[in-house]
């Protein structure tokens, strides 16, 4: 799927001429999916990860969350496998760290996402 290229600060990346670039990047698409909070999108509130409802809580079901995140990631075109996905939740600060490796036809990528409650 084509998407607007984002920079490291999750802002729209602009060329030297001030134009946007389109990219097909399963890595960017997965990172966007993982940062997408449940009910955040006004056009389809059923989309997103239930971070507040299921993850950033006192006793999160880490195994269930891991399975859900892997399903979401495998739903992205060109993601072939998620051989590693680690979740660390700090219930006091309501933060989660998700580290993962995923394999696409282009190669294997290791990424991480930090979520703040």
Sheet holding 79-90, edge to edge: 79-90, 95-104, 107-116
pLDDT in tens, 7-34: 888 788 898 999 898 988 999 999 999 9
**Which class for 68: exposed (0-12), middle (13-18), buried (19 or more C-beta within 10 A)?**
middle
Q: What is the 3-state secondary structure (H, E, C) of 20-73?
A: ECEECCHHHHHHHHHHCECCCCCCCCCCCECHHHHHCCCCCCHHHHHHHHHHHH
pLDDT in tens, 44-55: 888 889 988 988
The answer to whether residues 80 and 103 touch, using CB atoms and an 8 Å cutoff, is yes
Mean pLDDT, rounded, for 98-117: 93
């Amino acid at each position: 799927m084509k998407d607007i290229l984002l920079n490291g600060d999750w802002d729209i990346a602009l060329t030297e001429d001030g134009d946007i670039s389109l990219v097909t990047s399963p890595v960017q698409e997965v990172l966007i999916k993982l940062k997408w909070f449940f009910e955040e999108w006004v056009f389809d509130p059923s989309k997103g990860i239930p971070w507040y409802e299921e993850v950033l809580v006192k006793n999160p079901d880490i195994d269930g969350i891991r399975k859900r995140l892997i399903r979401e990631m495998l739903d992205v075109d060109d993601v072939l496998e998620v051989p590693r996905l680690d979740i660390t939740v700090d219930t006091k600060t309501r933060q989660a760290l998700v580290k993962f490796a995923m394999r696409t036809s282009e190669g294997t990528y290791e990424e991480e996402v930090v979520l703040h409650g």
